[in-house]
Amino acid sequence: MRWSHVSRDLTGLGWDRPRVTALGLDHALVLAIVGSRVVVLLAAVLAETVVTRNPVLTSGDGAPILRSLTSWDGWWYLGIVRDGYHAAPIVDGYHDYAFFPLYPLLVRALSFPWPVYAGLVAVVLSNVLFVAALVLLVRLGRVVLGDERARRGAMLLAISPFAAVFSMAYSESLFLALSVGAFLAVERDRRALSGVLFGLTVLARLQGAVLLLPLWFLLFARDGRRLRASQAWLLLGPLAAVAFLGYVAVLTRSAGSYGTAQAAWGRGGIGSSAAGAAIGSSGDLNQLVLLVTLIASLFLLVFRRVDRVPWVYALVPLLYVGSVFVSGILESVGRYVTLAFPNSWLLAGRRATWFRRGWPVVSLVLLGLVSLQMFRGQFVP
């Protein structure tokens, strides 16, 4: 490939002349995926060898690179992979059953023959699922908005500033793949599949439960705004949540245990979090970054009508942001809004030349900076 072609793909992201690979992805999207993962890996190397790392930051695996990619919540997920859930707190009143079970169950199953490599398996699984999620997002975008926006939106999601979590031992890649898959199944009128995928989405993260509303609206509209028995497949989502919360209640012999576990992280409602973390508090630079991220995510919705994004899909970022407000804490809002995949479609709708060429570069720089701060223990993913 000549340098002129590489330059064109990096500046314009090559979305005007797609060249399709065997997976159905064009070369520019492949470049965005590979480039963004290289940025994440470089940030991990710098965090472990050059800059000062927070000495209290925990990791689920001590190997080079994996030390960064299994940090933060990765320590908790890998603990569940090894030992399952515990009724007693693990550290200082923090409980492992605050984390939903599907991702650690998959990692445990895949690493069963080689439990010592659970950290590596977790990271590889996250990266593979991220690629799968982008493939599904392109297919969904083609149904909703057409091929060009579908490809551009997936590329912008791949290089988004908080996209490092899709390479970490986190459930985000799994959640994104399942949630996008549930919407694609609804668009193709495969109702049983949509219900199963929705249920699995909730088992990956409780956050997925809010998708019941947009998924049902899509089915309701498809049925001529009439209630049909087949819409009940979506009840698998709430049932999945009830099943896990019921398991936690049995494990701890208390119906309120899960809420108590979330409150330990400050997610007990508006105003309940620690000083400096609550929404509206006067925090540090990290808090300012999260607040700007939240505002920018809401601002994107201004373009919904002109960009022809259906209002049902605009509900997804609204509901995710709403869950942030309900929790009362800004921490991890970057992950929440990154998972709101319709935001990438709204970004892809910006047609100004300066934005189309400038934002990918800015986004990659931000991805590197945010990833470095995450891996050195100065910014919560």
Give domain limits for the chain: 20-266+343-375, 267-342
Scored b (16 or more CB within 10 A) or e, 240-277 reads bbeebbeebeeebeeeebbeebbbebbbbeeeebeeeb
**How many angstroms separate the CA atoms of 99 and 245, rounded?**
11
Distance CA 243, CA 341 (A): 27
| pTM for the model | 0.91
Place of tokens 């694609």: 184
The span from the CA of 198 to the CA of 206, in Å, is: 11
Residues paired with residue 94 on neighbouring β-strands, in sequence order: 91
The encoded tokens of residue 48 equal: 């472990």
Query: Which secondary-structure segment (H or E) carries 152?
Result: helix 147-158
Query: Sign of the C-alpha dihedral, residues 161, 166, 172, 177?
Result: positive
Quote the distance between the C-alpha of residue 254 and its chain's center: 30
Per-residue pLDDT, 280 = 41
Residue 146: which region, alpha, beta or left (left: phi > 0; alpha: psi -120 to 50)?
A: left
**Given this model, what pLDDT does residue 140 score?**
97
169 closest CA partner among 135, 204, 121: 121
State the Cα–Cα distance between residues 109 and 48, nearest whole angstrom. Answer: 29
pLDDT of 20 reads 55
Those residues of the chain that have pLDDT short of 70 are: 1-25, 268-283
Rounded-to-integer distance, Cα 213 and Cα 182, Å: 13
Whether 151 and 139 have beta carbons less than 8 Å apart is answered as no
What pLDDT is recorded for position 269?
58
120 Cα distance to chain centroid: 19
Start-end of H helices in 59-101: 66-69, 73-83
* Tokens coding 102: 């599907």
Q: What CA–CA distances, in Å, run from 379 to 47, 162, 284, 349, 370?
A: 12, 11, 11, 30, 7
Residues 256 and 90: their CA atoms lie apart, in Å, by: 18
What is the torsion angle, in degrees rounded to the nearest 10, for the CA atoms of residue 56, residue 61, residue 67 and residue 73? -60
